Amino acid sequence: MFRPEIKVIDCTIRDGGLMNDWKFDKQVVKDTFAGLAKAGVDYVELGYRADKKQYDTKAFGPWRFCDEKDLREVAFESPTKISVMADVGRTDYDSFLPKSDSLISMVRVATYIKDVDKAIHLGQHVKNLGYEVCINIMAVSHALEPDLDEALRQLADTNFECVYVVDSFGYFYSEQVHYLAEKYLNALNGKQVGIHCHNNQQLAYANTVEAIIKGINYLDASIFGMGRAAGNCPLELLMGFLKNPKFDVRPVLDLIQKHYLELNKELRWGYEIPYAITGILNKHPRAAMAFMKGVHGDTFSEFYDELLNVDDE
């Protein structure tokens, strides 16, 4: 339960922003970063660095883009580092300053298995600017084994710090986590491996613990489990499990009471039957999110039957 090399990455604002288009009030983000820094979290991921030319910027809050000026309004230099995520194909390379001029410490490049070569290209660009780099292979539950093996071989040859196992659809059980943890660790020539779990089947916390047992050291979590659809591993549970004296859960509990209980009433992330159905069927949660808004039939069983007859994209 206690390994000093373990790093905890909070992704509340970044992943939670998928529920409200990143329209968090700046005071909420400011309080969140300050509280997480006080709690001893290693990294706080404050959003995406998306290419503004590809988006209607008025439709999204500032944490979709994480401009340096916005980051400086809510965060500060501290032992708790700042992370942002960058999607392959949706990122303006020129938006990244040299690390010496930025509050950001780590860039996590999100990619599907077919675009790993593009992820390496983007990762190398930001690595050359001085940032730490993680590669998050999304939806790995849909990846073919030969494609994953080839991707890991390519990533093993990079100078990036970490590669993530990402259970995007909340589909995995402990057996899959064990298998993939061993695969990644054996293939990546000593790089760190991370785990990012979704809670569709109430297993995000349990699967994160299983990953720790198998030697994974970079752990994603979020305050009160906030994240897309069923959400993520709850930070407060993970901090309790790790038994690391550098962590203090009290500021996280205060943030939950001050901000996140009310946000949960509004946004309804967490365990819900439609999200459980997409997790069981290894489907993207977008259909379940639509069901929650009144689309896709009137009953859970109708929704289940509909998904059984829909081919994946």
Residue 2 has a pLDDT of: 78
Q: Quick one: 189 and 299 in the same domain? A: no
Residue 2 covered by a domain: no
Q: Which range marks the domain in which residue 79 is found?
A: 7-267
Residue 313 covered by a domain: no
Residue 161 covered by a domain: yes
Residue 1 has a pLDDT of: 60
Q: Quick one: 280 and 182 in the same domain? A: no
Residue 261 covered by a domain: yes
Residue 232 covered by a domain: yes
Average of per-residue pLDDT across 271-284: 97
pLDDT in tens, 69-116: 999 999 999 999 999 999 999 999 999 999 999 999 999 999 999 999
pLDDT in tens, 26-57: 999 999 999 999 999 999 999 999 999 999 99
Residue 262 has a pLDDT of: 98
Residue 33 covered by a domain: yes
Domain count, the chain: 2
Q: Quick one: 125 and 54 in the same domain? A: yes
Q: Quick one: 179 and 290 in the same domain? A: no
Residue 267 has a pLDDT of: 96
Could you tell me the pLDDT band of residue 141, with boundaries at 50, 70 and 90? Answer: very high
Q: Quick one: 171 and 32 in the same domain? A: yes
Give the C-alpha separation, 14 to 219, whole Å: 15
pLDDT in tens, 148-178: 999 999 999 999 999 999 999 999 999 999 9
Token pair belonging to 80: 């708790």
Q: Quick one: 137 and 64 in the same domain? A: yes
The answer to whether residue 281 scores a pLDDT higher than 60 is yes
Token pair belonging to 13: 């604002």
Please provide the DSSP assignment of the chain as one string: ---TT-EEEE-HHHHHGGGTTT---HHHHHHHHHHHHHHT-SEEEEEE---GGGS-GGGS-GGGT--HHHHHHH---SSSEEEEEEETTS--GGGPPPGGG-SEEEEEEEE-GGGHHHHHHHHHHHHHTT-EEEEEETTGGG--HHHHHHHHHHHHTS--SEEEEEETTS---HHHHHHHHHHHHHHTTT-EEEEEEB-TTS-HHHHHHHHHHTT--EEEEBGGG-SSTT-B-BHHHHHHHH--TT--SHHHHHHIIIIIHHHHHHH--S--HHHHHHHHTT--THHHHHHHTT-S-SSHHHHHHHHHT----
Higher pLDDT, 191 or 312: 191
Give the C-alpha separation, 228 to 166, whole Å: 13
Residue 312 has a pLDDT of: 56
Q: Quick one: 161 and 295 in the same domain? A: no
Could you tell me the pLDDT band of residue 202, with boundaries at 50, 70 and 90? Answer: very high
Give the C-alpha separation, 146 to 150, whole Å: 6
Q: Quick one: 220 and 298 in the same domain? A: no
Q: What is the mean pLDDT of the chain?
A: 96
Residue 47 covered by a domain: yes
The answer to whether residue 310 scores a pLDDT higher than 80 is no
Q: Quick one: 131 and 78 in the same domain? A: yes
The answer to whether residue 296 scores a pLDDT higher than 80 is no
